[in-house]
Structure 1
């Protein structure tokens, strides 16, 4: 009788649900669903729902039907079959033994029946994606919860039916799990426990921790010991009340006001208006790995920073894939009306560009970062500190990283994962303003007026945006290896850090930058930019461009920077066709074949794209460059030159190989070049192709990729070698400016419209590398002391230049110093 009543009630609810089912809008993960699950069609399937709910069951049935998955069925006391999938509710599995029902008996019977096997697929259905707060009665009624009654579930469905997310766990072999245990009862308990933890972790990954009201967060910051200490140590001219009021003002300025409703609103605006009109697509890689990490670790996302779109794209992609968006560290310059309040409600917390010397602000900010880590919120920040104006990855800043790492190591509840994220574009919408800033124009301050002007980007197409999640750093494990005594050196409340912590953070920041670049995306526009900008006059025939891009693609395939490196389009002709309209290439018809060219103005924009992936070709380009003026070279000579230049390349391009590995890496690159026909073996030596061969033009193009970089190296070395008194202090700031001015003059004389060629930060990096390898030293006044060996370095640097570049550079130096142009050390 009871079974009959249950069946009648089920049928009634099913008919009532049918009109609503058509209106429900859902997303599911993994994506695409059938391929992501990879179910074995010869084995039965049992779906496990996280809570007992017929509405969840009906939604699951619809998703399975839409994606061609086995349909769930109420099996009763029967085993599922390959043609009839079963369904189990997790609450039934968690009941005590005294409350056995048919479902639990089915599990226990399956354990005891050795011939039975099935694929267990845990499924979590989330209505509304709200993690919950202790706030209004409205949320108490309409927010999804595991304890919702049937009546409340009806209201939840009405309120959140347009925002349903279904998370499918990877299939688990029932027989493999139970056969690992000798006792059937133990096997059943362990299976249930594993499913229980899976659902808890899946909920945390999708919804995040329960939200704390902002007022409570601010009060907790003011009560933090580190803030109390800062207030007590405030200047005698500042009373305790004023210091406390200032601390509250800092907390109000910093703290986010996370709102799921605001996130849903922004997601709809971005998907329906902004991203739909600006980008032809958003290509995201590695999300399934992130989903797995989010169920076990607290994640800190650390993306490259090239555009204001970066943080919107990362949060948008995570949210649409069913992961909770992170709290984002944003510059206080973005806190303007009306954007500031919206971003704050979407998880942004604001930080000043500099707060050294402001002890109270520093303490409040540190306490806020600690609170985010302690509560288990995902965090996102940009280690570069600002957007890259050149397209290269900038040297990381370590202030916020130091705070985040310290907070992660102080808490012992959950392991922390630092995730590098490469963000790239077929065309970056700020590239025009970046070029102006590199020429000396003042950076435009973010404002509502600027936001309105920026609306013009909606009328243009910028191709695709790309997000690639790289190889993460397991923070605690990394600290075990590089900061062994950290467990004894951190106190939960004290701001002190263990000895060697500053160096540890510097090395961690560099390692992260290398992992970002190792996950680079070689998109069509960047590949076309590499080839076109390496052409002598930025013009090349269509056939030659296709051949060169083909060689670039095969170089990346033959020696990838890492397993996470990504090439969206590997067909050379398709790359050219896709890049041409985005890069605004000019087509010149000709009787012997169509030509492709790029104007001076567009070449500046393409320089940005080239710099995004230039590091991927740094080693093969240096090798190819050696053959620009030489026909035959010995392998050992090539290896020796690369070894000598590698410290500079590694500093500028954040390359992942250590100095100990570079000889092996160089030999591996040589073999790839030989396989592609760009070099050949001539006995024990290497030979370049003859000038009439098609491979010659590709080798020449490859060598020119690093031409500007090698010219900057030579500028630095030659200027140092021509100092009138070597071993005497040299004002570093003035010398960096001399390097910049010489590069600027050279760019003007050669007709280069590339302001990034004389970027002062690049020369600063070269000097740092010369200090690291011992050719320069720096005294307490930050003046440089030059070693005599720099003369030999300058001579080697000249050997890497083209004849025209070497002649021009020596002429410029001779006119500046009044020395003979053929001697780099004539003034010494």
Structure 2
């Protein structure tokens, strides 16, 4: 009788569901689902749903039928077959641990039947993507919950039917799971335990921890020991603690996010329909399946490259679309303006000032907030560079916020912390025009509502594709085990005043550099970047069509022959398609000619294109350097080439955040030489390598490859020649003045050669070269005495000229000989 009533009720619910079922909009993971699961069609499938819900079952049935998976069936006491998949509810599976049920009898029969095998697929259905929060009765009624009954589930379906996410776990082998236990009962207990943890981790990855009301967060910050100590220390004589505490509250309210799933859903729809659909032809995201796996085991801290204001929108948008909870994002307080500031805050942004120095209260509150995010299990995103790159290269990372994250992460005892580098690139960055103006000296425009309205003009333009690639992560605790001895004695201790371990500051700095290297290792060699490399390396920025296609083909094959990193990505490998795709976006002009069409780019558009080139220039740093050795030499031995690469590699590694250590350079050089020989860019003659003759097509490709690093090598040469000249003058050399002299020399050379490339004389690059010279011992910082230059710099300055073209070398020497020295400071007597 009970079974009959249950059947009647099931049929009634099914008919009630039908009119609503067609309106349900769902996303699935992995994507694409059928290819991601890789089910064996010869074996039966058993779906395990996380909760006992007919509505979830109906949604699963619809997904399977639409995406070509075996549809689920209520099998009762029958075995599933390859044609007829089964479905089991997790509560029913847990019930078998306490009493004998029909399901238990079926499982025991399957265990006893040695020939029986099945694929167990855990499935979590999430309605509305709300992790739950301490809010109104409305949310308590309509928010999804695994404890929801049939009536409440009906209301949940009505409220969130257009925002359903189905997470499919990878299939488990029934036979392997059953063989893990000495008997059927033990094996079933192990299986249910594994599935139970899987559903918990999947829920955490998709929804995140339970949300805490913002006022509760703020009160907990003010009550934290670090903030209390700061309030005590900052209370000056005659000043009341209440006034200092009021300032601390103001800081907390300025910083704290106000996370709202409704706001995230609104922003996702707005970006989908209004912004990204009009601006980008597509968003190419790589590595999401790996991120989903990590999110079930670790607390994730995303550390992306920073190219554009679109970066944080794209990362959160892509994660949300993939069924992962968007992170809390550290945003500059300059973005906290109406109406954007409040919306971003509700979408997870927490605001930070550019500088904390001298403000003990603000520092303590911000540190406590970062601590609370890590301790509560929220994922975090911040940009280690501190600001957007104006040149397209990675900027030297800043370590202030990273230091707080590392300290909080190493104190975490529940789940380990994973730092995930993220490469972000664009076929065309929408801020590149303003970047060029800022590099020429224009003042950065302050973010405001007025500027937001002006930015609306980008909606009428096409910027090609955006690219996101999640790189190889760093497990924080494991990394500390290798590089920060005895860290547990400092961070696991409950003593709040315990000092940081020796070497902590250096550890954080090295960690920041390692993340930058992993970001570059996940670089995306997109069509515009490859076209930019070839065109900007052509004389006068004009090249024939056949030559351009051939050169881009060689660039692609260089990357395929010796991939820079495991997660390096080439979206398009056909050279002619690359030219066609990039022509419109990069404004590459096609000039008809009877002997073959030409491709060229104007000086103005060339400046914008340097941004794309700089995104991926590091991928070709070593082969370009090798090509430069053949600028004035016809034949060279492997040993001479390896020695040359080894000498210059420290400078390349600093500028481009290259991933290889100095000890690996010889092996890396030999691999590149093998690939270049295979592609015909070099040929072997006995124990030496020979460049192609000038009449051969491969010669123009080798020359183009050498010019990829042309401006970089010119800057190296400028720095060495200036240092050599200053050493001979025996005058005191102050670092700041020397860096400015380098910049002025590069600026003058750019003007005289007609280069409209303000990034060529970026002062930060010369600062990096000088840091490297100090690290390798060719320059010493003598403090008040200024820089002390080693005599070996003369030989380096002489040898560096061999890497320049005749025209560049002649102009550089002329500029140095005609350089006007600054007027000496007035003497005391004259004063």
State whether TM-score is above 0.5. yes
Deviation of 1:98 after TM superposition, in Å, equals 4.1
Matched, 1:640 2:643: yes
Matched, 1:773 2:776: yes
Q: Is the 8 A contact 1:726 1:787 kept in 2?
A: no
Deviation of 1:797 after TM superposition, in Å, equals 1.1
Deviation of 1:110 after TM superposition, in Å, equals 2.0
Match for 2:499 among 489, 496, 501?
496
Deviation of 1:795 after TM superposition, in Å, equals 1.0
Q: Look up the match of 1:681.
A: 684
Query: Structure 2 CA distance, aligned partners of 1:202 and 1:251?
Result: 32
Q: Look up the match of 2:184.
A: 184
Query: Structure 1 CA distance, aligned partners of 2:43 and 2:219?
Result: 56
What is the SS of the residue equivalent to 1:114? coil
Q: Look up the match of 1:250.
A: 251
Q: Look up the match of 2:421.
A: 420
What is the SS of the residue equivalent to 2:737? helix
Q: Look up the match of 1:821.
A: none
Q: Is the 8 A contact 2:642 2:669 kept in 1?
A: yes
Query: Structure 1 CA distance, aligned partners of 2:454 and 2:263?
Result: 24
- CA deviation profile, 1:315-351 (whole Å, cap 9, x unmatched): 0000010000000000000000000000000000000
What is the SS of the residue equivalent to 2:539? coil
- CA deviation profile, 1:36-76 (whole Å, cap 9, x unmatched): 00100000000000000000000000000110100000000
Deviation of 1:727 after TM superposition, in Å, equals 7.1
What is the SS of the residue equivalent to 1:258? coil
Query: Structure 1 CA distance, aligned partners of 2:522 and 2:498?
Result: 34
Q: Look up the match of 2:313.
A: 312
Query: Structure 2 CA distance, aligned partners of 1:31 and 1:658?
Result: 37
Q: Look up the match of 2:63.
A: 63
Q: Is the 8 A contact 1:727 1:787 kept in 2?
A: no
Worse-matched range after superposition: 242-251 or 93-102: 93-102
Query: Structure 2 CA distance, aligned partners of 1:63 and 1:187?
Result: 30
Deviation of 1:782 after TM superposition, in Å, equals 8.3
Query: Structure 1 CA distance, aligned partners of 2:743 and 2:161?
Result: 60
Matched, 1:4 2:7: no
What is the SS of the residue equivalent to 1:401? helix
Matched, 1:236 2:236: yes
What is the SS of the residue equivalent to 2:726? coil
Query: Structure 2 CA distance, aligned partners of 1:604 and 1:34?
Result: 45
Q: Look up the match of 1:219.
A: 219
Paired residues for 1:747-766 under 5 Å:
747-766=750-769
What is the SS of the residue equivalent to 2:181? coil
What is the SS of the residue equivalent to 1:657? coil
Query: Structure 2 CA distance, aligned partners of 1:467 and 1:736?
Result: 35
Q: Look up the match of 2:201.
A: 201
Change (3 A) 1:185 1:276: same
Paired residues for 1:263-302 under 5 Å:
263-302=264-303
Give the count of matched residue pairs. Answer: 818
Deviation of 1:223 after TM superposition, in Å, equals 0.3
Query: Structure 1 CA distance, aligned partners of 2:200 and 2:219?
Result: 29
Query: Structure 2 CA distance, aligned partners of 1:189 and 1:139?
Result: 35
Query: Structure 2 CA distance, aligned partners of 1:367 and 1:676?
Result: 56
- CA deviation profile, 1:556-593 (whole Å, cap 9, x unmatched): 01111111000000000110010000000001000011
Paired residues for 1:252-401 under 5 Å:
252-401=253-402
Q: Look up the match of 1:803.
A: 806
Query: Structure 2 CA distance, aligned partners of 1:800 and 1:696?
Result: 17
Query: Structure 2 CA distance, aligned partners of 1:330 and 1:497?
Result: 27
Query: Structure 1 CA distance, aligned partners of 2:794 and 2:447?
Result: 47
Q: Is the 8 A contact 2:235 2:241 kept in 1?
A: no
Query: Structure 1 CA distance, aligned partners of 2:253 and 2:784?
Result: 40
Query: Structure 2 CA distance, aligned partners of 1:538 and 1:714?
Result: 23
Q: Look up the match of 2:439.
A: 438
Q: Is the 8 A contact 2:298 2:418 kept in 1?
A: yes
Q: Look up the match of 1:606.
A: 609
Matched, 1:463 2:464: yes
Query: Structure 2 CA distance, aligned partners of 1:736 and 1:234?
Result: 39
Deviation of 1:116 after TM superposition, in Å, equals 1.3
Q: Look up the match of 2:588.
A: 585
- CA deviation profile, 1:174-229 (whole Å, cap 9, x unmatched): 11122233322211111110000000000000000000000000000000000011
Worse-matched range after superposition: 174-183 or 251-260: 174-183
Q: Is the 8 A contact 1:29 1:166 kept in 2?
A: yes
- CA deviation profile, 1:652-677 (whole Å, cap 9, x unmatched): 00000000000010011000000000
Q: Is the 8 A contact 1:45 1:80 kept in 2?
A: yes
Query: Structure 1 CA distance, aligned partners of 2:84 and 2:565?
Result: 43
Q: Look up the match of 2:542.
A: 539
- CA deviation profile, 1:402-427 (whole Å, cap 9, x unmatched): 00010000111100000000000000
- CA deviation profile, 1:441-479 (whole Å, cap 9, x unmatched): 000000000000000000000000000000000000000
Query: Structure 2 CA distance, aligned partners of 1:627 and 1:724?
Result: 30
Q: Is the 8 A contact 2:732 2:785 kept in 1?
A: no
What is the SS of the residue equivalent to 1:686? strand
What is the SS of the residue equivalent to 1:233? helix
Change (3 A) 1:670 1:14: same
Q: Look up the match of 2:161.
A: 161
Q: Is the 8 A contact 1:727 1:788 kept in 2?
A: no
Q: Look up the match of 2:817.
A: 814
Worse-matched range after superposition: 785-794 or 565-574: 785-794
Q: Look up the match of 1:595.
A: 598
Deviation of 1:114 after TM superposition, in Å, equals 1.9
Q: Look up the match of 2:115.
A: 115
Query: Structure 2 CA distance, aligned partners of 1:72 and 1:61?
Result: 6
Match for 1:649 among 644, 648, 652?
652
Which TM-score applies when normalising by structure 2? 0.97
Q: Is the 8 A contact 2:307 2:392 kept in 1?
A: yes
Q: Look up the match of 1:707.
A: 710
- CA deviation profile, 1:524-582 (whole Å, cap 9, x unmatched): 00000000000011000111000000000000011111110000000001100100000
Change (3 A) 1:730 1:59: same
Paired residues for 1:471-490 under 5 Å:
471-490=472-491
What is the SS of the residue equivalent to 1:722? helix
Deviation of 1:239 after TM superposition, in Å, equals 2.8
Q: Is the 8 A contact 1:736 1:764 kept in 2?
A: yes
Which TM-score applies when normalising by structure 1? 0.98
Query: Structure 2 CA distance, aligned partners of 1:513 and 1:560?
Result: 18
What is the SS of the residue equivalent to 1:99? coil
Match for 1:631 among 629, 634, 648?
634
RMSD of aligned Cα (Å): 1.1
Query: Structure 2 CA distance, aligned partners of 1:620 and 1:817?
Result: 37
Q: Is the 8 A contact 1:111 1:187 kept in 2?
A: no
Deviation of 1:780 after TM superposition, in Å, equals 3.2
Query: Structure 2 CA distance, aligned partners of 1:629 and 1:20?
Result: 75
Q: Is the 8 A contact 1:726 1:785 kept in 2?
A: no
Query: Structure 2 CA distance, aligned partners of 1:210 and 1:9?
Result: 34
Query: Structure 2 CA distance, aligned partners of 1:619 and 1:98?
Result: 65
Deviation of 1:817 after TM superposition, in Å, equals 6.2
Q: Is the 8 A contact 2:96 2:104 kept in 1?
A: no
- CA deviation profile, 1:722-777 (whole Å, cap 9, x unmatched): 01557764111111000000000000000000000000000000000000000011
Q: Is the 8 A contact 1:529 1:610 kept in 2?
A: yes
Query: Structure 2 CA distance, aligned partners of 1:591 and 1:611?
Result: 34
- CA deviation profile, 1:119-174 (whole Å, cap 9, x unmatched): 00000000000001111000000000000011000000000000000000011111
Matched, 1:671 2:674: yes
Query: Structure 2 CA distance, aligned partners of 1:323 and 1:481?
Result: 30
Q: Is the 8 A contact 1:34 1:67 kept in 2?
A: yes
Deviation of 1:356 after TM superposition, in Å, equals 1.3
Q: Look up the match of 2:826.
A: none
Q: Is the 8 A contact 1:726 1:786 kept in 2?
A: no
Q: Look up the match of 2:825.
A: none
What is the SS of the residue equivalent to 1:715? helix
Q: Look up the match of 1:149.
A: 149
